[in-house]
Amino acid sequence: MGLFGKGRERAPKVDFDHLPRHVAIIMDGNGRWANKRGLPRTAGHAAGAETFRRIATYCKEIGLEYLTVYAFSTENWKRSEEEVGAIMGLLKKYLLEAIGQMERDRVKMRFFGDLTPLSQELRDLCRRTEEISTHYEGCQVNICLNYGGRDEILRAARAFAGECAAGRAVPEQLDETAFSGLLFSAGVPDPDLIIRPSGEVRISNFLLWQSAYAEYYFTDVLWPDFDQEELHRALASYQGRSRRFGGVT
């Protein structure tokens, strides 16, 4: 299988002993899923939230080290107040449930993005989930919230420029490793595989720096319909590729 998923055909076998370390997902298609069913877009987001819960749990079960999901972009504020409010309400619900289950599930959580525009309650919940999970080992789920790849790069550039202006650094000290350490994802390995459901074939400002050598998997399946079999197709597609990182094999 190549770059694109073919939908509901039988999923190929996956070698669970050689999984990618880090899978990232652009959770796209909630609104279209709802429109196809004559439902409000908010219903699509609710269905997508349940899909995220199932996929994150399954990734932990199969031993994936890192899962990063695009939950809310810096551009998503342009959507209607009702839709944004519904998304934030679902996030609150998920975090409250996660806090109650983290000791049992032992899933680490981190947030990538600028959380300052969020309500104080949501910011406190995000901070609380990160604090609880600091001593856990195993699968780490990174939730990109009010996140944009360009915004992330600009923030890192400004941070380094500030260090130089303060005399604590010089431009010659900046290399790829140092720059990566200034990103929201500092300390997290770059994604090996990025999955985009919904039939769209673009990266939409997601992990621009980190995805330099990521493999991509695109599928027409809308995010609320994304399931374990579709994940298996993505993983099998990844395992069938040769990653050369700019070299020659």
Helix 81-105 vs helix 41-62: crossing angle, to nearest 10: 20
For the cut 50, the answer to whether the pLDDT of residue 149 exceeds it is: yes
What is the predicted pLDDT for the residue at 103?
A: 79
For the cut 90, the answer to whether the pLDDT of residue 72 exceeds it is: yes
What is the predicted pLDDT for the residue at 73?
A: 95
| pLDDT level of residue 214 (50, 70, 90 thresholds) | very high
Residue 99, classed as helix, strand or coil, is helix
Listed by start position, the domains of the chain span: 22-239
Lowest-pLDDT choice from 69-78, 127-136, 179-188, 203-212 = 127-136
For the cut 60, the answer to whether the pLDDT of residue 17 exceeds it is: yes
Sheet with 108-112: strands ordered across:
108-112, 140-147, 66-73, 22-26, 193-196, 215-218
What is the predicted pLDDT for the residue at 186?
A: 97
Active site (catalytic) residues: 28, 76
**Arithmetic mean of pLDDT, 34-47:** 96
- CATH code of 22-239, in short, is 3.40.1180.10
Rg (CA), the chain: 18
What is the predicted pLDDT for the residue at 101?
A: 84
Distance (Å) of CA 90 to CA 70, 72, 83, 85, 242: 14, 12, 11, 9, 39
- Backbone dihedral angles phi then psi of residue 242, each to the nearest 5 degrees: -110, 115
For the cut 60, the answer to whether the pLDDT of residue 50 exceeds it is: yes
Lowest-pLDDT choice from 99-103, 156-160, 222-226 = 99-103
What is the predicted pLDDT for the residue at 244?
A: 64
Q: Is the pLDDT higher at 61 or at 5?
A: 61
Adjacent-strand bridge partners of 141: 67, 109
Q: Is the pLDDT higher at 3 or at 189?
A: 189
Adjacent-strand bridge partners of 23: 67, 193
96-140 confidence digits (pLDDT tens): 998 888 878 888 999 999 999 999 999 999 999 999 988 888 899
Distance (Å, rounded) from C-alpha 45 to C-alpha 27? 10
Distance (Å, rounded) from C-alpha 206 to C-alpha 193? 13
For the cut 90, the answer to whether the pLDDT of residue 48 exceeds it is: yes
For the cut 60, the answer to whether the pLDDT of residue 8 exceeds it is: no
For the cut 70, the answer to whether the pLDDT of residue 184 exceeds it is: yes
What is the predicted pLDDT for the residue at 135?
A: 83
Lowest-pLDDT choice from 94-108, 186-200, 209-223, 230-244 = 94-108
| pLDDT level of residue 1 (50, 70, 90 thresholds) | very low
